[in-house]
Structure 1
Amino acid sequence: MKRRDFVKGAIAATAAIGFSGCTREMIEGKKNVNISRRKKVKLKLATSWPANFPIMGTGVDRFAEKVKAMSGGSLEIKVYPKNILVPALAVFDATSSGQIDAFHSGPYYWKGKNPAFALFSGLPLGMVASELSCWMNYGGGYDLWRELYAKFNLYPFVGGNTGVQMGGWFRKPIESLADLHGLKMRIPGLGGEVMAKLGVNPILLPAGEIYTSLERGTIDATEWVGPALDIRMGFYKVARYYYTGWHEPGSILELTFNKARFESLSEEHKAILHYAAEAMTAEMYHEFMHENAIALEKLKEVQVDIRDFPPEIIEAAKTALAQVVEEQSGESSDFKRVFESMERYYRTIKPWSDISEAKYLAIR
């Protein structure tokens, strides 16, 4: 045997012995060492909800757990309920300034900063949850949202959807448009502005004051979300009439990061946040659907009177909405741009929605 061939054979044999001695436990150990040595990142996220708040609050907690698991523990999110780090409606400013890294809330709370922000929660009598998701991802919604939020050093994701919300709880039945005149109702956002055109006096109240105000007659009506959350508030005890909804057909919730902080993350961590947010959005929507169905049966047991608004009110609401949109568009070019984008996509997707789900739901 030539010396060169002997050397090659010896090297090959040594390599074989080396690989045969590299057990699965050793390989797994090396993986764990790599994970443990990876730089760990911790983010502070504040919500606008109380601790353990059903669906919305608990959904964020599960999101944080998923992020930690998907990252092998290298990315941790500490969730702070409202008023722990910052007040419920101060999360936008706190994240913008970098005081915290992220927040979970609703875009329509920030309409005072830019009227267009209300539209990213959805539009009264507009697109439902699935259609809004399509607009966000394929119709330019995300591009507009992120462009406008970037001016505040923010980077948003859709962070859930409530689905169609109910129209509210009323102490007395609403049988005509005249019954709305002078009515004091807790209702925020664009829905409140439309109701104002119909003669309602919209009132903003924190969650903790709504039941007492309704019980004492300080307000005559209130909207909240849907059966799953409304039944926990006990509104059925002081307001018997529960109306189906039109003002929030698919309200988007947001998971928004400080833009500079988000961009400083690794591509791996950015991807994890992206897909964990999508998972949370789907889970939250499905949980709302499930829990609303269960709660609706309980409300029927306590003989809640569930009604539709009279047709004249719905028609008047459509007219009022057009007036609100025209006024807001005249005052804000951003509002006009976002609304026109929504409207274009609505015209694109409505024909399919009408001959698919709408037809099926009508005949099933």
Structure 2
Amino acid sequence: MSDKTEQPLAAPEKQTQDPERRRFLKSSVAAAGGAAILGAPWIRDAKAAQTTTWKVQTSWPGGIGLDTFKAWCNSIIEKTGGELAFQPFGAKDVVGEFQLFDAVKNGVLDAMNPFTIYWAGRMPASVFLTSYPMGLRYPHEWDVFYYALGGLELARELFAKFDMHYVGPIHHGPNIIHSKVPIRSIDDFRGRKMRLPGGMVAELFQAAGAKTTLLPGSEIFPALEKGTIDVADYVGPAINYALGFHQVTKYISMGPPGFMSIYQPVDLMDLTVGKKSWNALSDSMKQFVEMEVHVYSDLHHAAIQKADQEAWAKFTEAGTEVTRLTQDDVDAFTELAVPLWFKWANKDPDAARVFKIQLDYMMSGSLGYVTPDMVEGHSLNV
């Protein structure tokens, strides 16, 4: 990835902190409906002498995402009868968001719940472990990739090279774009200073003429407020409203109806654990954690979608205008995206292996997103 994409802008010196936003950034388990997440308790092994506690940090800076994460973590000790506990930390509580990878690898944290795309710079294949421009478009398609087509085994193989165990993907929803100016076509991105998560997504918008920068979610509001950026991608409406984006932008840009986000329609997170911490668990407890990630992914996704429905009315009340791209814009972005697919897939053999599975799936009769003429002249180094 180019330095232009990787280098964050300087953080603003000062920012407005209204009471609602402060409460959001310090939000805890109370609002998450923790009782619904508890579920049936795990029957503890009588031989287990003491509780094993994992320090787990998420990328969520607050709101329903952080609340749901904390509620889930706090449910683990009861479900395991005290054998295993998760101590939850929000974004930047222990380390910075972009330091999570090394913190787990080196044992500072036992596990992380990050946005998987953050590791594009050090692991090109990670670009294809979460949604990317014009790729797989719906959560169930990613479940098919991971749990039926070999994606989970590949992800675990890749993270094992860094002494980590990839437990599984976690759904939350599509990303949307907030801006100070209306974005009604691909041409409106030209010249805009835009926050993006890096990797292929950043390169797509660079190809469309945007000037991109990489910022963690907790730094987007102050950058928009100060005017360091005038367009920002982040997650869905509930989190973004709670972060105060309606206070510093006037517009939300999305894809055509039914295609909410053309660049990250299923922005996956994951649970990844340090090898030492994972290997210390019994086989039965490993199986429990793996199944819990399935449960958490479903609950996490549903809780955020519910909150999103409530947030749309709040944006309307705040005077935010929603604009949508057209099918012509989708076609234009697709033309830019296809060469980037192959560029990133050919960065290393692992990336090519992952993408090949997805490309075959997208070209199959089940989906048909990609036709032979779209990829003519491109090849994979597998």
Normalised to the residue count of structure 1, the TM-score between the two structures is: 0.81
| 2:96 equivalent to 1:87 | yes
- Distance apart, 1:349 and its partner CA: 7.3
> Matches of 2:60 and 2:204 in 1, distance apart?
29
Q: In the alignment, what sits opposite 1:99?
A: 108
- Distance apart, 1:88 and its partner CA: 2.5
One-letter code aligned to 1:211: F
> Matches of 2:81 and 2:283 in 1, distance apart?
15
- Distance apart, 1:131 and its partner CA: 1.1
Q: In the alignment, what sits opposite 2:267?
A: 251
Q: In the alignment, what sits opposite 1:114?
A: 123
Measured against aligned partners, the alpha-carbon deviations of 1:18-53 in whole angstroms (never above 9, x if no partner) come to: xxxxxxxxxxxxxxxx866522242322324467x2
- Distance apart, 1:158 and its partner CA: 2.8
Question: Could you tell me whether the CA contact under 8 Å between 1:129 and 1:251 is conserved in 2?
Answer: no
SS at match of 1:315: helix
- Distance apart, 1:282 and its partner CA: 0.4
Q: In the alignment, what sits opposite 1:14?
A: none
Q: In the alignment, what sits opposite 1:172?
A: 181
- Distance apart, 1:137 and its partner CA: 0.5
- Distance apart, 1:174 and its partner CA: 2.5
| 2:359 equivalent to 1:343 | yes
One-letter code aligned to 2:101: F
1:50/1:284 CA distance change after superposition, 3 Å: closer
1:204/1:143 CA distance change after superposition, 3 Å: same
> Matches of 2:196 and 2:274 in 1, distance apart?
29
Question: Could you tell me whether the CA contact under 8 Å between 2:362 and 2:368 is conserved in 1?
Answer: no
1:275/1:299 CA distance change after superposition, 3 Å: same
Q: In the alignment, what sits opposite 1:266?
A: 282
Higher relative helix content: 1
Indicate which of 42, 54, 65 corresponds to 2:63. 54
Question: Could you tell me whether the CA contact under 8 Å between 1:158 and 1:252 is conserved in 2?
Answer: no
Q: In the alignment, what sits opposite 1:10?
A: none
Deviating above 6 A after TM superposition, structure 1's stretches of 4 or more consecutive aligned residues are none
% same residue: 24
Question: Could you tell me whether the CA contact under 8 Å between 2:169 and 2:293 is conserved in 1?
Answer: yes
One-letter code aligned to 1:316: A
Q: In the alignment, what sits opposite 2:212?
A: 202
Q: In the alignment, what sits opposite 1:212?
A: 222
One-letter code aligned to 1:69: E
- Total equivalences in the alignment: 319
Q: In the alignment, what sits opposite 1:280?
A: 296
Structure 2 unaligned blocks of 5 or more: 1-43, 255-260, 370-382
1:327/1:40 CA distance change after superposition, 3 Å: same
- Give the stretch that moved more between structures: 268-277 or 62-71: 62-71
- Give the stretch that moved more between structures: 250-259 or 213-222: 213-222
Q: In the alignment, what sits opposite 2:252?
A: 242
Normalised to the residue count of structure 2, the TM-score between the two structures is: 0.77
> Matches of 1:63 and 1:288 in 2, distance apart?
14
Q: 1:59-78 counterparts in 2 under 5 A? A: 59-78=68-87
- Distance apart, 1:79 and its partner CA: 2.0
Structure 1 unaligned blocks of 5 or more: 1-33, 354-364
1:176/1:279 CA distance change after superposition, 3 Å: closer
> Matches of 1:329 and 1:88 in 2, distance apart?
25
| 2:317 equivalent to 1:301 | yes
SS at match of 2:113: strand
- Distance apart, 1:144 and its partner CA: 0.9
> Matches of 1:59 and 1:347 in 2, distance apart?
36
| 2:150 equivalent to 1:140 | yes
Q: Could you say which structure has the larger radius of gyration?
A: 1
SS at match of 2:266: coil
